[in-house]
Structure formats: C-alpha cells, structure tokens
Amino acid sequence: MLITVEEGPVESRRLILRDSLNVLGLLLTITALFAVTFFLFRSFSAHRADLAQRWSARGRMALQAGKPDEAITALRTALVYAPGTRDDELLLAEALEQTNRPEEAEESYQYLTGLWTADPGYGPINLQLARLERKRDQPQDAINSYRAAIYGTWQGGGLEERAAVRLELAQYLIAQHDLEAAHLELLIAGGDAPETYERDMEIGSLLEQAIAAGDAETYYRRALQAAKRNREERDAARDAIARIEAAQAAAAVAAAQEEDSAAQKTPAAQTMGAR
Amino acid sequence: MTGSGRAGESTGVEGAKSAARMGSAREERLLLLLSIFVGVISGLLVVSFRMAIAWLSVLLLGSSPQPHQARLLWIPAAAGIVVALLVRFVFPGARGSGVNQTKAALYVNNGYISSRTVIGKFLISALAIGSGHSLGPEDPSLQIGAGVASLISRRFGLSRARLRVFAPIGAAAGLAAAFNAPISAILFVIEEVIGNWSAAVLGSIVLAAISSVVVARWFWGADAMFRIPPVNLVDPRELLAYAVLGVVGGVASLLFTRAVGWLRPALRRQPASWQLLQPAAAGFLVGCIGYFGLPQVMGAGYEAIDAAMHAQFAWKVLLLLALFKIIATTLSYSSGTPGGMFAPTLFIGGMLGAGVGSLEQHFFPHFATGSLGSYALVGMGVLFAAFLRAPLTSIFMAMEVSQSYSIALPVILANTIAYLIARTLQPVPIFEVLTHQEGLYLPSMEERREESDLHLEDAMQPVSVPVLQGSDTVRAAAAALEQYGEAADGGPAILVQCSDHLWYAATREELEKLLAEAESSDLFTAQQTLEDRLGAERTPVLFPDLPLDAALPHFPRWPLLPVTNRAVRAALEGTVSLEDVLGRYQRH
C-alpha cells in the first residue's frame, strides 16, 4: 500500500487503534481460555486423585486378603494417578515380594533399591529392604538396612516404629546366633520404647532367648507393674518371673551341686596323690 | 517530466519509505509482545490437549487397562475409523506428526497454518492417542503452537517475512509446554525447524517458550516430566556400560527408521478405500499387543517410562516393551493416524536404557553401579539423538529433565555413539525421509541457511514472458510463440518448461536462430522437440525463500531466472531479472 507523507499520521493512528483492539481481543481470549482450562483442570485433578485413592484402597485390601497379584495391579494403577505416593510404593514392593515368584522377588528388590536410591534416609524403605535382604539371605546387608531404618526418618516422629524395628533386628540377630549384639539392641530398645505391658513382655521374652535372664526378669517386673489392673496380664508376668526365678534357682542348685562335686573331687584327689 | 511531477513522485517514494519504516518498527515492537501472547495461549491449549488425552484414555480404555480386556481390541480400531474419516473429509491438514507439517508451513506456505488444522490436530490427535494408538502429544503440540502463532500474526496483519518467523516461535512454545522443558524445546526448534540462529528470533522464541512453560507449570506443577531418581556416575568405568547402551540405541533407532521408512510408503500406495481403513487396522493390531500382554505400549506411555525409571519392570519385560513399541508406533504412524513420534521415541529409549542397565547390573553388579533411572534417561537421549537426529537437543533434554550435570558425560558418550551409528547406516534422517515421501523438499537441519535480509520473493515479479513447452516440436513451439505476438518481443527471455520439471530461459535471438535453423533444415530436425534442440543445460532451481544474492551468479549466463515452488518444482512462483534484483537492493 502506498502512503503519502500526509497520510502517514492517519495511517499510524489507524494501526495503533487496530493493534490495541487486537491486543484487547487477545487478552479476552486468554482470560476465557484460562477460565475454561482452570475449571476443567480442577475437575480433572479431582478425578485423578479419586482414582488414585480408589485403586490404592483396592490394593491394600487385596494385599490384606493375600492376593498379591491383584494388589500389584491395583497399586501400580494407583501410582499412575498419584506418582510418588510413598505408602503405595512400599505396598507395591511388599506385594511384589509376596508373590513368592523369583522374578517378582527380583523386581521387588530392584524396585526397593530404586526407591532407596531416591530417598536413602527414609525408614520404611530401609525396613522393607532389610526384610527382603533377610529373605535373600544377605545377613550383613539386612542388618545394615535395619540399622538404617532405625536411624532413618519416619512420619510422625517414629518412636514406636524405631523400637519395633530394633526388636525385629534383635530377633534376627538371635536367629543369627549373635546373642551379644541382640542383647545390646534389646537393652537400647527397652530404654527407648514406651513402657507398655506388651512391649516389656516382648523385650523380656527376647532377652530370655538372648540368654540374659537377669535383664529379662527386670522387664517382666516392669510388665507386672504396667499390668496392675489386668489379672490375666499380671498372671502372665508373674508366671514369666516365676519361670525365670525357677530357672535361676535351678541354675543356682546346679552350680552348687557342681561346686560340691568339685570340692569332693579335690580332697579325694589329694588323698590319692598322697598315697 | 515537469517539476511538479518530479516533486509528486518524490513525495510518493518518501511516503512509501516512511510507511515501510513505520511498518517495520511496529512489527519489531509487536513481535516480543505477541511472543508472550503466543506462549500463554499455546501453554493453555497444550494443557487442555494433554488433559483431553488423559480423560479420553480413562473414558475409552478404563482407568486401569489390563491384558485380556476386550475393549483394548475394539476401541483403538473404532477410533481409527473415526480418525480416518475426520482426516479425509474434515481436517486434511491434521495428518502426520506435526513437525514436518510445521516445516512445510514455514517453507512452502509462508508460515500459514489454518485454524481448521489447529482444531483438527487437537481433536484428532487427542482421540487417537487417548484411544491407545502408539503416538505422542509433543509433535502435535508443536504444530498447535505454530498454528496459534500463525493465527495471531495474521490477525495483526504482519508481513510475510514476519509470518514465517512467527510459526517457529509458536512451535517452540507448544513443544516447551508439552515437554515442560523450555531449553530443549528452544533447541529443538532451532535445530530441526528453523535451522539457524537468529538473535531476533531467538529472543522471541525464548519469551514464548518460557511463557508457555510458566502456564503449563501453573497447572501441572514444577516437577519435571518424569520423576528422575538421583543420577550419579560413581565409577568412570561405568562409561563402558553407557557406551554399550549407545550401540544398542543406535541399532534400535536404525530398525525403527527402516521400519517406518518402509511401511509408510507401502501403505500410502494402497487404494484410497483401503487407506481409509488403515488407522482402524493399525489400532486393532496395537490393541492386540495390549490385549495379549503389553498394554503399556498403548498411548503415549509416560506412566510406563516412569515405572521403568523406578525399576518396576524386569529386564526381559523392558526389552519386550521396547521392541513392541517400535512395532506399535510403526503401525500407528504409518497408517496416517495423526500423532507424534517424540513420546514413542522416549519410551523406546527409556525401556532400552533401563533394560540394558538392568541386564548389566544383573550380570556385572560391580561394574554398572548407576541407578536404573540414569540408564533410562540416557537411553531416552540416545534414541532422541539417533532417531530424531537432534544430538544437541538430546543432551540438553537429559540435563534439563534430570536437573543434573553429572548425567552429561554418559549422555554425550552414548548419544555420540548412537548418532554416529545411525548416521552412518541411515544417512537420511527420519524427518527428511518422511518429507521426501510426501514429495516435499524441505531444508534439513544439515541445510542450515544464513538468513539474509532480502529474499528472492522480495524481487520476484509475476510471470509476464511467454512460456513454451519443451516437449513441443520446434515447429509447434514457433507457432506458439507467434501466438504471443508483440508480447513476446518486449521481454528479456522466453521460458521453456522441460519435461524433467526444470526450466530453460532462452533469449529471443537464441530462439529465433534455433527456429530458423529448423525451418531451413530437413523434416527430422523440424520434428525434434524444443528441449532436445536446447540441449541438457537448464536454468538453476531457485525458490522464493532463498537469499536474494543467490540469483546473482547466474545472470551472466541467463537473462531471466524462473523461481519455482518447493513442493511442486514445475510450478512457477515468478521470475527475477538482474534489473529486478538490483532494483530491490536499491530500494532496501
């Protein structure tokens, strides 16, 4: 288009007006598009969250019902709609492991290792990893993972959970015949754990298994204190104490008899020597 | 000429110059502002596009597609029929992945993308991907962004040069929003769509890409597209493991390219009625893959990539998924179903990477110590470099997605190996293979051209000289020339269209001499065709978007140069003479 010098300002004003109207039109378009997208997205997100919850619940139920294959499918779907949900990830690892098929067990291990790489300080991942390493007969790795679980992070503080992991570790150490280490873990667990009847009884029982009768009796007595109002619990604690006392008495008698027999043997030997 | 006449002419020229300056300044100012608008609108559309795909997927395939569900078989097939009908009768411009169509719009149609194409691409691609066809949303997003840019620039009445610049700005915005990775999108558009680095365009591209990503992140969150586990290179010897991945990736990309390069033209050669059924048949076959055990290959497959990165699959499953994704994508894409190749490429690369990493960790546990996520990420980069032939983008993509520089070394090593293998064994990149199959000759990334301020189209004139057919006999040509009468006398040359779709520009004297020779000689010579008499020499092939100085070396030989269409080389866009070129330079 040919514009003369006189027409220039007029054309310029016309263009400015046209551009301004176009910009306004664009702003309105963006506003309308944004509003539509916003409401659609809100509905979309809510729908996905709902799907994630439903599939997660289905997965948990399947796992509780001992149907790991169904649980795997459900939990994988839940993770599609809510990626990175830690609880579902751990449940999935558990479900994979529960299939008792070597491929899935391997997959479970790899999956857990992957989760651990992403968050090595998270207690529940380390606990699951420890359990899997126990199954895979990797005792040192399992013990390391248990310890990492104890010192790892837990939702809501994790006092209870840490104590429970320590007890599980102690059980494993007893099974591994490392009684000294188990004894130590149980004493720490006893110090850390809240004093409840069940916990004290459990620690006492494990200490008994770790051949630490004296400490076991202490915990049974604590359990007796904690179970003042419950007759059954009191009886159980008393029985345990009585059992330990009986064992201790028997041990004392045995020791005394051994001492006596040793003392009897010594003069006889001296006499024999004199002859 | 009188004094007043000269004064009037001077005023007119001044006015034209002033208007040109004003227009240029206006467009400069508008470019940056409109880039932001393009970014925001593209971002919103891409968010909606991805939502539409996800929603359709749940609606059509259910919230948890599993093997042996009958709908996996019939839904993609039924959607294929709808897709084919829509592409054939309603949205013909929506065909293909989107990258080549954007390039074609840029180089053939001066950046013009119709609103119908944008709407069609959005709807049909969403339906195809949502119903389980093995395609991705990134390339369509790129075209949607380019379409938005084209629409806006037309609305503002920008010049043709600006229209051409604007489409890639929108393309970068669309891709950035789809990828949630602005740097990779910018690099890809520069590397694969524009082919050169122009500071003015770069600024606008960055603005548009950032704007669209800001919008996309407002909705999807700031997290990367995939949840990448920590990436680290513990032992330098592990680079050997990544090198192996590079070799595997190079071979896989070669297989993928060959498969698409073979099946697509084979299917396009079929009768039109059968072509209408191809998307349905492809959908059914892809559905079969899902039905018989691998539903992960259906759709874009981001969830499966995420699962592979977090070690949810055993190595055998990973390698199977990679293989069947190649098959599924080849089927879906070759059938003419609109949808992108990016997501399938990333899927195949991710599965191969995680598979090879898993295998190496299984057999050489002390050697391959990196996480499976790192292997999957490197695998994605490898396929991106080798299949899409965008090595620079692939490296930055891996770093941008993982937000880790420690991945750079494995990525560079593996990508280079894969790229070299693919380039050696398949010299023509996939996008060029596809454009050649469509009869287009678009500039490839290797054909990066330096932008010049002026192009041939700026000096090009409408065809006003006589045009003769080279296949005519000399006598017929003489008769045709006579019909032009006086019109033929004034022009600098006469154009002859040869049967090889090339041109010959003959001077009047040259042609008269030739005709005279034919008249005076025997009957055989007179019956010879004009192009036979002219010999094998032809005028150079010139396109409107070439720099103006590209014509200059040819004027000593040719008085007039024909300028042809890139898509149809026999079609004349116009002509340029030395006077036209010099005149245009003088006016600049």
Reported ipTM: 0.71
Residue A25 domain flag: no
Q: Is residue A158 part of a domain?
A: no
What stretches of B297-341 show up as alpha helix (H) in DSSP? 302-309, 315-334
Strand partners, B561: B576
Put simply, whether A22 touches B (Cβ < 8 Å) is yes
- State the CATH number of the domain containing residue A81: 1.25.40
Tokens of B241: 């493991």
Domain extent at residue A54? 47-118
Instruction: Tell me which chain A residue has its CA closest to the CA of residue B314.
Output: A107
Min Cα separation A181/chain B (Å): 30
Contact state of A41 with B371 under an 8 Å Cβ cutoff: no
Cα angle, residue B414 at apex, residues B411 and B419 outer, rounded to 5°: 110
Structural domains in chain B? 23-226 (1.10.3080.10), 238-445 (1.10.3080.10), 456-587 (3.10.580.10)
Q: Give residue B237's identity as a one-letter amino acid code.
A: R
8 Å CB contact between B402 and B371: no
In a mutational test of the B interface, the residue from A44, A50, A122, A138 whose CB has the highest number of chain B CBs within 10 Å is: A44
What is the distance of C-alpha A43 from the center of its chain?
Answer: 34
Pair type for strands B467-469 and B494-497: parallel
Cβ–Cβ < 8 Å for A115, A149: no
Strand B572-577 and strand B494-497: the pairing is unpaired
> B232: how many CB neighbours lie within 10 A of its CB?
14
In whole angstroms, give the CA distance from residue B409 to residue B421.
19
Could you write out the DSSP letters of every residue in B516-573?
HHHHHS-HHHHHSBHHHHH-S--PPPB-TTSBGGGSGGGTTT-SEEEEE-SS-TTSEE
Q: Do A177 and A185 meet the contact criterion of CB atoms below 8 Å apart?
A: no
> What are the angstrom distances between the C-alpha of A242 and each of A187, A222, A234, A235, A249?
21, 14, 12, 10, 10
Contact A44/B230, CB-based, under 8 Å? no
Q: Would residue A207 count as lying in a domain? A: no
User: How far, in Å, are B3, B7, B341, B342, B494 from residue B12 at the CA level?
Assistant: 14, 9, 53, 53, 33
The Cβ-side half-sphere exposure at A180, using a 13 Å CA radius, reads 0
What lies within 8 Å, CB to CB, of B124 at 6+ separation is B83, B86, B87, B91, B94, B338
Q: Is A262 on the interface with B (CB under 8 A)?
A: no
With an 8 Å Cβ cutoff, is B232 touching chain A?
no
Tell whether A52 lies on the interface with B, counting CB pairs under 8 A.
no
Is residue A183 a part of any domain in this protein? no
For B331, phi then psi, to 5°, come to -65, -50
Q: Does B313 touch chain A (CB under 8 A)?
A: yes
Q: If you ran DSSP here, which 8-state letter would residue B371 be given?
A: -
Indicate whether A37 belongs to any domain. no
CA distance A182 to A207: 8
Q: Flag whether residue B32 sits within 8 Å of chain A, measured between CB atoms.
A: no
Assess B314–A contact: CB distance below 8 Å, yes or no: yes
How far, in whole angstroms, is CA A146 from its chain's centroid?
9
A67: in domain: yes
Q: Which of A41, A55, A81 sits opposite B51 (nearest CB)?
A: A41
Partner residue facing A8 (CB), from B15, B40, B358: B15
Local confidence pLDDT in tens for the 588 residues of chain B = 444 555 555 555 555 556 566 666 777 778 888 999 999 999 999 999 999 999 999 999 999 999 999 999 999 999 999 999 999 999 988 888 888 888 888 888 888 899 999 999 999 999 999 999 999 999 999 999 999 999 999 888 888 877 888 888 999 999 999 988 899 999 888 877 777 666 667 888 999 999 999 999 999 887 777 777 777 777 778 888 899 999 999 999 999 999 999 999 999 889 988 889 999 999 999 999 999 989 999 999 988 998 888 877 888 899 999 999 999 999 999 999 999 999 999 999 999 999 998 888 878 777 766 778 889 999 999 999 999 888 888 888 888 877 778 788 899 999 999 999 998 998 888 888 888 887 777 776 545 544 456 888 888 998 888 888 888 887 787 778 777 766 656 677 888 888 888 888 888 788 778 777 776 766 556 677 888 888 888 898 889 888 888 888 888 888 889 998 888 777 888 999 888 888 888 876
Q: What is the pLDDT of residue A29?
A: 94
Which residue in chain A has the smallest CA separation from B225?
A83
| Cβ within 8 Å, pair B51-A44 | yes
CA contacts within 13 A on the Cβ side of A120: 4
CB interface of B with A, residues 388-427, below 8 Å = none
Q: Which residues in A lie closer than 8 A to residue B371 (C-beta atoms)?
A: 114, 117
CB B175 within 8 A of CB B213: no
Task: Name the domain count of chain A.
Answer: 1
Asked if the structure places residue A59 within a domain, the reply is yes
Residue A112 located in a structural domain: yes
